[in-house]
Structures are given as structure tokens and as C-alpha cells.
Amino acid sequence: MEATAKHLLEWYDANARVLPWRAPPGAPPPDPYRVWLSEVMLQQTTVAAVGPYFAKFLALWPTVHDLAAAEDAEVMSAWAGLGYYARARNLLACARAVAARDGVFPDTEEGLRELPGVGAYTAAAVAAIAFDRRAAVVDANVERVVSRLHAIATPLPQAKAEIRARTEQLTPDDRPGDFAQAMMDLGATVCTVRAPRCLLCPLSSDCAGRRLGPEQFPVKAPKRAKPQRRGQAFWIEHDGAVWLVRRTDKGMLGGMRALPDNGWSARSDGEGAPPLAGPWQDLGTVRHSFTHFDLDLQLMLYSGADWARLEQQPGEWWPAAQLDRAGLPTLFAKAARLAPETDGEN
């Protein structure tokens, strides 16, 4: 196990990715705020996608105190497009909890787990990378490396406990933060999902999966078919402005600005009434994939003139020409592209 860690760290010293939230190999750990922010953003999201969001958040809220003091709507708007919006709500809750501790993050896995929204993975990652604590950090890249290294035949997700135990055995006492990031980099750049570059891998001589065929690991259980849902969103434009609503704090896309819709959810098709009585015109349908279901969302254009009734409902007029600044979730941003360009005289 010690030789494995040694070989990997030597490889990392020469091949580490340069990322804005990282310190170079062997350097003092980075600011815990940067580590925590990046790890929350990186969950179920690619490094390429996170880079601009990380820079934007640091520009707007350079410290955990700044983020804690931000308005919920501002943070949700800045997060728009990163997906999995519960992460943004948890981000704010955690920032406020840390601010209440004078801005000091706990420096152990156990302490970090007590913060709102911080699960096992994030706690281990922050403890290892920000505080150099020995912790088994297991993301999707590490799962792949370890399952191939040991040819773990148990399908995911049942194999997660074994993978974590194997990672725990591999993790050294010295430089555990660099080791965690080295495992991530190895999975991202060498031990890739398809066509792994085994000849370049510092662990290839000890890899059981290489001899058996690395691409068969990790073994995955058959995917269940996702439910297909259908819903409608409503485009109401007047004097160059579009009517937007704020979604409830709890539930899907909670707290986000959005187009009004007919109440679709992960469990059912939308059956609610439009915000105004017709006439309505079908502008087309967009398809969007969520974690647990797929949605076909039909965009309906209001072509009446009963604007006054909207003023009795919660919502706001937003300049159509500046809709990209509203922070719409990706689903509604896609639907909005179906709307016709107008001259402001609808």
C-alpha cells in the first residue's frame, strides 16, 4: 500500500492539473473556503463547467462571510446553469453556519459533517485537501481507479463500501490531501471511462483490472428506465417584458426565478391551469433530463391582453432583452429560446 501511494504521489508531482481552487503539489493547503466551494460545485458537474462559476462566486463573494451575507435570490441566480439546485441552498446554509463560527471551518471530518449540507464525501475532501487530515476521499474518478486496481466485481452501488475501505487502506499518513487529488487526476486524465491509458499509469503494474480488461470496471447494475413526464411553461410578454415567478424554496429548482408552469413534478405530469385565461399558442417543446425523470416541456405563448389579472399574482416583469441575467434554470432557459423575438409591442 505504501508503494502504491509513493508511486502515485511521484506521478502527481509531475502531472498535477492546474486548477484555480488548488495549491500546487507539496505546497501549503489552500483556503478552506475555496476548497469547500469548489467541492460543492464539482459534485455531479465537470471541472470545465465549474471553472467560470467558481471565478464568478469568488468575485462576488470572496469570503465565507460575504457569501453568508448574500441574498438567497442572488446566489440562486449566480448558480443558474450548474444544476442540482439543492446544492446552492445547502451552500448558503453552510456558509451562514460557518460565519456564525467566526468564519472558521471545522478541521476534521466529524466536525465538517455537522455543518448543514455537508455529506461524507465533501467532509472527507475538505478535511484532506484543506487541512491535510487523513481521510478516504471517494468521488467517481476514485471509484473507477480503485475498482479497477482491485478488480472489484461487486456492482455499484453495492460496491461503494468496499471501494471506500480499499481507498482508506491506500491513503497515506503523509500528504493525504495531495494523494486525494492525485487519485482524482489519475481518474480524470489516465484511468478514464473509455480507452484508459494504462501505459501511462503509475499503478499499472499492480492493477488487477488491467489484466482482466479495465473498461469492465466499475461494474454497474442495469439502469432503470426513467419516467417520462410532460408539462407546460407559459410565455407572457408585454411592453418588452416577460412575466416570471419565483419557485417555492422547497422542491425542484427551489427559490429560482422561472417561467410560470402547470405544476409538473418528478411524480406527475402537469395538470394545473395557466396563469391567465387564453388564448394560448403552442411554440414547441423542449426535452430536459433530470436525475430521476425526463421532462417534455411545452412552451405556450399568451396572445391575449388581460395583463391586469397578473398583478394579483406573485411574480415580476423582467426585461425580455435581459433574460439571460434573470438566472433561469437551464430547463426554462432552453424553453425561452422557443419564444419569438419581439419589438416590445406585444
Instruction: Round to whole Å and give the CA distance between 142 and 165.
Output: 12
Q: Is 6 helix (H, G, I), strand (E, B) or coil?
A: helix
Question: H-helix or E-strand containing 299?
Answer: strand 294-302
341 is catalytic: no
Q: Is 231 helix (H, G, I), strand (E, B) or coil?
A: strand
DSSP state of 61: -
Task: Kindly report whether the peptide bond that precedes residue 218 is cis, defined as omega within 30 degrees of 0.
Answer: yes
| Phi/psi at 252 (5° precision) | -65, 135
Listing DSSP states for 154-198 in one string gives SPBTTTHHHHHHHHHHH--SSSHHHHHHHHHHHHHHTS-SSS--G
27-31, long-range: CB within 8 Å, 24+ apart, which pairs? 29/129, 29/130, 29/131, 29/132, 29/177, 30/129, 30/130, 31/130
Q: Which residues pair with 242 in a beta bridge?
A: 237, 318
Of the candidates 275, 277, 144, which has an alpha carbon nearest to the alpha carbon of residue 198?
144
Q: What is the DSSP string of 100-133?
A: TTTTPPPSSHHHHHTSTT--HHHHHHHHHHHH--
Burial annotation 101-119 (CB, 10 A radius, 16+ → b, else e): eeeebbeebebbeebebbe
Burial of 343 (0-12, 13-18, 19+ CB in 10 A): exposed
Out of 2, 10, 39, 271, which one is annotated catalytic? 39
d(CA 75, CA 97): 16
| CB atoms inside a 10 Å sphere around CB 128 | 25
Contact 186, 8 (CB under 8 A): yes
- Known catalytic residues are 39
